[in-house]
Structure formats: C-alpha cells, structure tokens
Structure 1
Amino acid sequence: MSLTINTSVDDFHLSLIPDQSLSDKDFITKAEEKLLKQTILSTKGLTERQVEPGPLIVDRNAFIIDLVVNYGLSLQELVSPNMSDIQLVRNTLVVRGEHGINLYIIIKELYETTLEVL
C-alpha cells in the first residue's frame, strides 16, 4: 500500500515577509491634520509657565508637523538638517536624502500651507 499526494509546489504560496503595503488608514485625514495643528497652537490645559515660551515654539512645531504630513519626511530626515541646510537667500530647506538624493523645500510655501490648514 502506498500513499500518493497529488500536489505541486506551485500550489503553495509561502512568504516570510509580511504585507507592508500602505492603505488609507495609514495616513491622517485633513480633519485630523487640522485638529493636530490646532492642538499644537492651543494653550488649553497649560500652566502659565508652559504658556510663556509658547510663541517661540508654536511656529516651529507646526512647521515640523507640516514636514512630516505634507512632505513625508521620516524622523531621520526631520532631525538631520543643519543650519547650512537652510538657505535663507533662496527661502529653501535642503533635506539630504539617502543615496545623494536631496529634497528642496521652499520655506515660504511650507509656511503658507501650514497656515491654510488652520
């Protein structure tokens, strides 16, 4: 008596790499972006001591959110620019990417898109 299994290797689809494709739920909506920026700008729930330096960091925080949300910067790209990467004459921020590919972001446009959402 013999046992015969009729199957071919083609019938199997095994993968050790999980599906990492992105879907809509992986991104925030415009409403969520607006709420996030409003929260950053709000002084609600802050102590007087926390409110005091607020004007100095509010624009910076909104700028950071914009870089992540609208330009897709990674955490590494967000923290890597130096002062030499800010070209004030051209109103440009240079984000040095991997493999020598740089992203040039016009600061004025970035600031205006931050204000539009608010």
Structure 2
Amino acid sequence: MKNLILAFVTIFSVITAIARPVSENLSYECLESSVKLNFKRKSPLHEVTLNTNLFRVKECNRKFSIDEPTIMEINFDKCTLGAKNFFINVEEFKPGEIDSLLYSLPVYCENLIPVYSL
C-alpha cells in the first residue's frame, strides 16, 4: 500500500510538472532559471503586453503586435527577484477601441506538492 501511494504521488508530481495550463489563454513551461510563457490572445486583432511587477526592466516587459506569437521567456532572477511563483500582468488592446483588458494570471513553477519518503 505504501508503494502504491508513493507511486501515485510521484506520477501526480510528474504530470503537474509537465503541463501547467493556468487558464484557457496561458500555458507555460518551467525551467531551472526561467519560465517560457505561451499566451493565447482574445483575438488575432488584439495587441498584447505581458509583464511582471518589474516592468521597468526590458526583459520583463514585452509588447506583442497583432499576429505576432505571444511567447516570452521570464528569467526568475531578473524579473521576479528569484520567485518561481508570481503573477504575469496582461494587457489586451484592440486598436480602435477605447478600453483595454487588464488582468493578472498566476504562474506556479515552485513545487508546491510535498513529497515524503516512506
């Protein structure tokens, strides 16, 4: 029984580490020192800006034009002060419209599931 529980915890940990879709429009791959974000915009006509709270650092802030793939790599040390769990800020803007959509999405790259040896 102990082995079955340990196997389940191990498999669950591996599955959650492989693909971590946060919402319908954000998926990411956690690496040792960074995370690769892949954002799906509301429509192909929307411009998108992605940034962390350290938006003044060039590598932590990126504006994507219409039809440009919204793929960005965030370095933990430069953009999140080393934190592996953080929020990515999103702004979606459709040219010709007055208002833009502003929201934040969580990114979880730190293993939050404790693994105990039995």
More helix by share: 1
Provide TM-score, normalisation by structure 2.
Answer: 0.28
Higher relative CO (CA 8 A, sep ≥ 6), structure 1 or 2? Answer: 2
Larger radius of gyration: 1
